[in-house]
């Protein structure tokens, strides 16, 4: 996830300088990415305009201070805050990116899937690339199209046809003063139209100081803004946007949460996109194949992480057993000393950490490396410490997560780890290309599956209120196999934000002790993954016989479950089921917290990234 913005102002309006408006927008976009920032300004003198680009690795304020951006003047400019996906954070990889002649500047949010083949084609035509980003192809491609005789608008129409993947683009062309071109597919883009100023941006809060009249740009639309104007096109035809203007009355704070009351809720709802972008990124990423090769050749495979990331390693273990028949030895990273005497050369450790900075996980990695093991990292932060010390890094593409509780980063870890396990299955000869293709198809369904959050939200809220009315202070979350791992993650969410005791374990284990706790009305929630229905039903009956209130959050095949309360998420196989099941479980924790008056974004005693032992 990155943030893009473009502002253009009519001469003589609002102090005659768009730079303060641009920088304010950039500051508000920083939550979308903060490893680098940059701006491009169109500066016109004596009837001719040129572009000036200022960009660097670092936070927005550092980049502003480094170049004294707040002292510059221009009527038209672009800005970008980066969350690296292709190429680590660096001055060169920061946006905006320029074409060879420095006449076209581009800022981008999203992933260009076919950038490698486009780059090859453009390099063969003599274009010289400066960065490792996917974005730079856009600048050179536009240069090529314009050189073939097209105007920028026509070139943009062609560009939209040529690009695969997701993009929100804002573009400055030196020869078109006062215009900012834009295009969008799947990544969000909004336009704000004021009296004598217009802007485009990745989100609404970064536009509210410019205008509250907002137009959402739709997929495959493109066009340009001028001061106080908007021109919108699709497939070469003009689109009438005037009926689409929405007056936004939100405060900036409300708007930065996308209209949701909390970041956690916004991030739960963002999961369809996060899951999709991670999958698209992985399918293009040679690191995934390299990591799978390393794992397939390993003497033994270990997996480690903390908290939610540890739970992701359990899902990895499950799929490695199913697809590759390769045992995975999982351990919580703070317990790494337990494994130091057994890990040795030839082993591979998979280290999972959304931040890539969790001290316990880094310590586990260093210890394993010191014993001669190789390390595959799975992380959400390009350039993080973990990515730097690992032998191979596979990235998730959830974008920054602001809520302390991990939600979208968990589901994106599952995408990466399931895919990795499938590739190992192929490398070891247990799966063929067709099998991997089917697994990828199921992962693709993850996007639609994760929409369960929106559909089921009112039902979950009701369930949370029923539980609280019943004075719930403690609950069990049970599942079998994959479902047991998801139950552990759901229990962690309930504990950390709703401050209720929630204990998870494999359902079959209930008879061996924990069931003694069950009394009349005690809530027991079953996570219903496909393939274990009948055995879970027996466990439900056992619980009911002791007076438990039995709840099922399951795929549709749990329709006959002997439960007091059933939430069915749709019909999914084992690969896609976690994406449908986890969002309602996260929502349950969320509503249990909010209904008790707790702030789910900032749970007590917790930090987003734990950099102490
Ligand atoms: C739970 C949560 C934590 C983190 C853990 C590891 O919601 O967020 O349990 O999962 O602190 O953090 P990372 O993944 O950054 O290593």
**Which domains, ranges and CATH numbers included, belong to the chain?**
3-247 (3.60.20.10), 266-450 (3.40.50.10490), 452-594 (3.40.50.10490)
Report the nearest atom of ligand 1 relative to the CA of 405: 7
State residue 609's pLDDT score: 66
Residue to mutate, 264, 303, 307, 310, ligand 1, most ligand atoms under 8 Å from C-beta: 307
* Strand extents, DSSP E, 186-279: 190-193, 197-201, 213-216, 221-226, 229-234, 237-238, 246-247
Nearest CA to ligand 1 atom 7: 405
306, 403, 586: residue to mutate for ligand 1 pocket, most atoms within 8 A of CB: 306
Closest residue (by CA) to atom 3 of ligand 1?
A: 307
The residues facing 290 across adjacent strands are: none
| Mutation test residue for ligand 1: of 267, 304, 309, 389, the one with most atoms within 8 Å of CB | 309
pLDDT at 402: 86
How confident is the model at residue 246, as a pLDDT? 85
Whether the Cβ atoms of residue 484 and residue 478 lie closer than 8 Å to each other: yes
- Residue 516, pLDDT score: 84
In the Cβ-directed half-sphere of 288, how many Cα atoms lie within 13 Å? 22
Residue ranges with strand state E in 400-548 = 474-479, 501-506, 523-528
Interval between CA 585 and ligand 1 midpoint (Å): 17
Which pLDDT score, from 0 to 100, does residue 388 have?
87
pLDDT at residue number 392: 98
pLDDT of residue 611: 58
Atom 10 of ligand 1: nearest residue by CA position:
308
- Nearest CA residue ID for atom 15, ligand 1: 355
Instruction: Give the residue numbers marked as catalytic.
Output: 2, 608
pLDDT along the chain (613 residues), means of 10: 93 94 94 89 93 96 96 97 88 97 96 94 98 96 98 97 95 97 92 95 90 92 96 96 86 77 95 95 94 98 98 98 98 95 97 92 96 97 86 92 93 98 97 98 98 96 96 94 98 97 94 86 97 97 94 98 97 98 98 96 76 59
**165-173 β-sheet, strand order:** 97-98, 104-112, 165-173, 180-185, 221-226, 229-234, 237-238
> Can you read off the two tokens belonging to residue 208?
């509210």
Is residue 227 within 8 A of residue 10, CB to CB? The reply is yes
CA pair distance 476, 495, nearest whole angstrom: 11
Out of 359, 404, 406, 407, mutate this one to test ligand 1's pocket (max ligand atoms within 8 Å of CB): namely: 406
CA of 358 to the centre of ligand 1 (A): 8
Model confidence pLDDT, tens digit, residues 316-326: 999 999 999 99
Residue nearest to atom 5 of ligand 1 (CA): 307
Helices (H), 328-395: 359-370, 385-389
- What would the two tokens of residue 330 be? 């999982």
Question: Which residue is listed with tokens 């035809």?
Answer: 237
Distance 110 CA to ligand 1 centre (A): 25
| Residue 501 Cα to ligand 1 middle (Å) | 19
CA of 343 to the centre of ligand 1 (A): 24
Helix (H) or strand (E) holding 6: strand 3-9
Ligand 1 pocket, CB under 6 A: 306-309, 353-355, 358, 361, 405-406, 492, 496, 609-610
The alpha carbon of 300 and the centre of ligand 1 are apart by a number of angstroms equal to 25
Ligand 1 centroid from CA 448, angstroms: 25
């Amino acid at each position: 996830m990155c943030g893009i913005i473009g502002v253009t102002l009519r001469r003589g309006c609002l102090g005659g300088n768009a730079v303060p408006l641009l920088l304010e927008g950039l500051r508000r976009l920083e939550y979308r990415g903060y490893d680098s920032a940059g701006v491009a300004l169109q500066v016109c003198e004596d009837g001719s305009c040129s572009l000036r680009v200022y960009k660097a690795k670092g936070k927005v304020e550092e980049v502003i201070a480094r170049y004294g951006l707040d002292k510059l003047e221009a009527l038209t400019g672009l800005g970008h805050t980066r969350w690296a996906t292709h190429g680590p954070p660096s001055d060169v990889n920061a946006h905006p990116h320029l074409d060879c002649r420095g006449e076209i500047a581009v800022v981008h949010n999203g992933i260009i899937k076919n950038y490698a083949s486009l780059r090859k084609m453009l390099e063969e035509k003599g274009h010289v690339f400066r960065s490792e980003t996917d974005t730079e192809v856009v600048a050179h491609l536009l240069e090529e199209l314009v050189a073939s005789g097209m105007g920028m608008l026509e070139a943009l129409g062609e560009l939209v046809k040529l690009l695969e993947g997701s993009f929100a683009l804002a573009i400055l062309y030196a020869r078109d003063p006062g215009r900012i071109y834009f295009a969008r597919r799947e990544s969000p883009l909004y336009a704000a139209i004021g009296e004598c100023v217009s802007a485009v941006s990745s989100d609404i809060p970064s536009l509210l100081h410019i205008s509250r009249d907002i137009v959402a740009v739709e997929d495959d639309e493109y066009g340009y803004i001028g001061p106080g104007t908007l021109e919108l096109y699709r497939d070469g035809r003009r689109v009438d946007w005037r009926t689409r203007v929405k007056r936004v009355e939100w405060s900036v704070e409300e708007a930065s949460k996308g209209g949701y009351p909390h970041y956690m809720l916004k991030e739960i709802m963002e999961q369809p996109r996060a899951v999709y972008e991670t999958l698209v990124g992985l399918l293009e990423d040679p690191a995934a194949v390299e990591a799978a090769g390393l794992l397939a050749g390993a003497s033994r495979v270990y997996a480690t992480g903390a908290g939610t990331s540890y739970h992701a390693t359990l899902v990895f273990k499950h799929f490695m057993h199913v697809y590759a028949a390769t045992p995975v030895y999982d351990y919580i990273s703070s317990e790494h000393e337990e494994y130091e005497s057994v890990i040795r050369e030839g082993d591979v450790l998979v280290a999972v950490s959304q931040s890539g900075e969790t001290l316990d996980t880094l310590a586990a990695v260093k210890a394993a490396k010191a014993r001669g093991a190789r390390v595959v990292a799975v992380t959400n932060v390009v350039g993080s410490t973990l990515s730097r010390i690992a032998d191979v890094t596979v990235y998730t593409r959830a974008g920054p997560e602001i809520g302390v509780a991990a939600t979208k980063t968990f589901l994106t870890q599952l995408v990466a780890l399931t895919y990795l396990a499938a590739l190992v299955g192929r490398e070891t000869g247990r799966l063929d290309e067709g099998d991997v293709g089917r697994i990828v198809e199921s992962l693709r369904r993850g996007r639609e599956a994760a929409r369960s959050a929106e559909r089921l939200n009112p039902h979950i809220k009701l369930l949370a209120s029923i539980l609280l009315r019943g004075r719930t202070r403690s609950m069990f979350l049970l599942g079998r196999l994959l479902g047991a791992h998801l139950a552990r993650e759901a229990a962690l969410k309930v504990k950390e934000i709703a401050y209720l005791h929630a204990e998870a374990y494999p359902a079959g284990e209930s008879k061996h002790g924990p069931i003694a706790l069950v009394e009349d009305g005690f809530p027991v929630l079953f996570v219903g993954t496909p393939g274990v229905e009948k055995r879970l039903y027996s466990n439900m009956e056992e619980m009911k016989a002791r007076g438990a209130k039995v709840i099922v959050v399951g795929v549709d095949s749990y329709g006959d479950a002997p439960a007091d309360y059933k939430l069915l998420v749709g019909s999914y196989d084992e690969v896609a089921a976690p994406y449908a099941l986890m969002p309602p479980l996260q929502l349950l924790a969320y509503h249990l917290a909010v209904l008790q008056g707790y702030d789910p974004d900032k749970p007590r005693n917790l930090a987003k990234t734990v950099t102490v032992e």
